[in-house]
Amino acid sequence: MLRSNDDPRALRSRAAALAAATELLVEGGPENVTHATVAKRAGIGRATVYRHWPDQQALLLDALAGDVRPLLSFDDSPVRDQLVFQAEQLAHRLNQPSAVSILATVIQRAERDEEARRLREEMFGQADEDLTRALAAAVERGELRPGTQGHARDLVARIIGPLLFERFLHGVHLEKDLVVSLVDAALAPWLPNA
Amino acid sequence: MLRSNDDPRALRSRAAALAAATELLVEGGPENVTHATVAKRAGIGRATVYRHWPDQQALLLDALAGDVRPLLSFDDSPVRDQLVFQAEQLAHRLNQPSAVSILATVIQRAERDEEARRLREEMFGQADEDLTRALAAAVERGELRPGTQGHARDLVARIIGPLLFERFLHGVHLEKDLVVSLVDAALAPWLPNA
DNA sequence: CGTCTGTGAGACAGTATGTATCGAAGAGAA
DNA sequence: TTCTCTTCGATACATACTGTCTCACAGACG
């Protein structure tokens, strides 16, 4: 279809279209992202949008993919600090007005769309493995009780879950003290002196 | 517009349309719920759908409203049992394949639609007040430490949040032992012997 | 039985969608 | 620069969809 991915003209119109698609998604929901609206907003031809994305699903998912990079990542520094930092980063991103629209769209599409499901898993899939490793290292260092490394996913759920609940279902702004309190509560059962 | 709400013919076509709308929402997402598709699925005339719901938003939200009754309610029996029971009920409802589509749609719409926001608050708004009362009663009985009643919403977030996270972002089936574990973890800081 | 009123079917104009074509202009090589 | 290739925006076009209206019909109710 297109000669290549490296033609500056193609890259330019593609980038403009994706930026426009994200804007339109946040402003009016997924059904607001059509070939016509994207073309108009991006200042490019309607046919050009069809050339890049023959169907609307692909266009929307490409736009989503640009905004949904992995949300968490861990290394081997002290676990509590990492969790607080990462959860704060995530809270900051969730506080963006666009985040709810984008995440809710991914979740909704994932029910019926394989590509969206892949995208959804990309968000937290890596986090489980990384955190498992980080927890194992922490157990070695005596920061946590043995066995903790088997509960990485559970920890993530107990920290991120309440954040999502507050943000998605109550629409509140996520504050730092909530994040800290959630991390400590989730970690409490695994502290060695317990 | 319509003479009344009690004409059996109007009630019948209205009910058929709402049932069809919910089906179509679950099958193909919100953009699949149009006057035309609903009319066809419900076996009624397209004009009839327009008569009941002049715009598509109203139709979709009416369908959602039928499926999103309050999700939690509390009385004055022992708190832990109540929380476990209510959270199990909720988990059971979230396990329905349709629940994710419906909830995600409400959340998404709530970003831009006043009516959807009202609907979203209906789900958990009452729960906070009820649980606050139930917690106060439990404190009176010595089940929980004084001050607990000020943290009803926090408790809900720490129990429901992880459930939503597991169901929405990992697509897993919610099991009873997870529910119990979440309730006990959320309650732990407020037990009197701590 | 007679009068309402909601209904389904269809007609209709206006709009949106998807595709094809065309000349213009940017990109890259000689 | 000049030449060639590719993408571009604009436009035209057929088709599908939307929203509104009309009308004959049948169910509801007295």
Report the b/e string of A157-184 with b at 16+ CB within 10 A. bbbbbbbbbbbbbeeeebeeebbebbbe
What's the Å distance between residue A166 CA and nucleotide D27 C1'?
50
pLDDT band at B194 (very low <50, low <70, confident <90, very high): low
Residues of A in contact with B55 (CB under 8 A): none
pLDDT tens digits, one per residue of A100-130: 999 999 999 999 999 999 999 999 989 999 9
By CB atoms closer than 10 A (0-12, 13-18, 19+), residue B135 is buried
Which one-letter amino acid corresponds to residue A6?
Answer: D
The residue among A5 and A52 whose pLDDT is bigger is A52
Q: Is the pLDDT of residue B2 over 50?
A: no
Q: Which of A169, A177, A190 to mutate to test the interface with B (most CBs of B within 10 A)?
A: A169
List protein-proximal bases of chain D (any atom < 7 A from a CB): 5-12, 17-22, 27-29
Q: Is A114 on the interface with B (CB under 8 A)?
A: no
pLDDT of residue B3: 46
Across B107-127, average pLDDT: 95
Q: Is the pLDDT of residue A175 over 60?
A: yes
Is the C-beta of residue A1 closer than 7 Å to nucleic acid chain C?
no
pLDDT of residue B100: 97
Q: Is the pLDDT of residue A92 over 70?
A: yes
pLDDT of residue B193: 77
Mean pLDDT value across chain A: 94
pLDDT of residue A6: 82
Nearest alpha carbon to residue A182 among B88, B121, B159, B178:
B159
pLDDT of residue B118: 96
List protein-proximal bases of chain C (any atom < 7 A from a CB): 4-10, 16-21, 26-28
pLDDT of residue A5: 72
CATH architecture group of domain B8-66: Orthogonal Bundle (1.10)
Phi and psi at A107, nearest 5°, equal -60, -45
pLDDT band at A1 (very low <50, low <70, confident <90, very high): very low
Of all residues in chain A, the one with the smallest CA distance to B112 is A28
pLDDT band at B4 (very low <50, low <70, confident <90, very high): low
Separation CA A65–CA A63 (nearest Å): 5
DSSP assignments along A65-94, one per residue: HHH--------SS-HHHHHHHHHHHHHHHH
Q: Which two tokens stand for residue A169?
A: 């279902």
Q: Is the pLDDT of residue B189 over 90?
A: yes
Q: Is the pLDDT of residue A31 over 90?
A: yes
Q: Which of B26, B98, B111, B179 to mutate to test the interface with A (most CBs of A within 10 A)?
A: B111
Q: Kindly report which listed range (A132-136, B69-73, B116-120, B167-171) carries the lowest average pLDDT score.
A: B69-73
Across B20-47, average pLDDT: 98
Helix, strand, or coil (residue A183): helix
Is the C-beta of residue B41 closer than 7 Å to nucleic acid chain C?
no
Q: Which two tokens stand for residue B4?
A: 């009344």
What's the Å distance between residue A48 CA and nucleotide C27 C1'?
17
Q: What is the CATH number of domain A68-190?
A: 1.10.357.10
pLDDT of residue A3: 44
Task: Please answer yes or no on whether B108 and A29 come within 8 Å at the CB atom.
Answer: yes
Sketch the domain layout of chain B as residue ranges.
8-66, 68-190
Across B148-164, average pLDDT: 97
pLDDT tens digits, one per residue of B80-102: 999 999 999 999 999 999 999 99
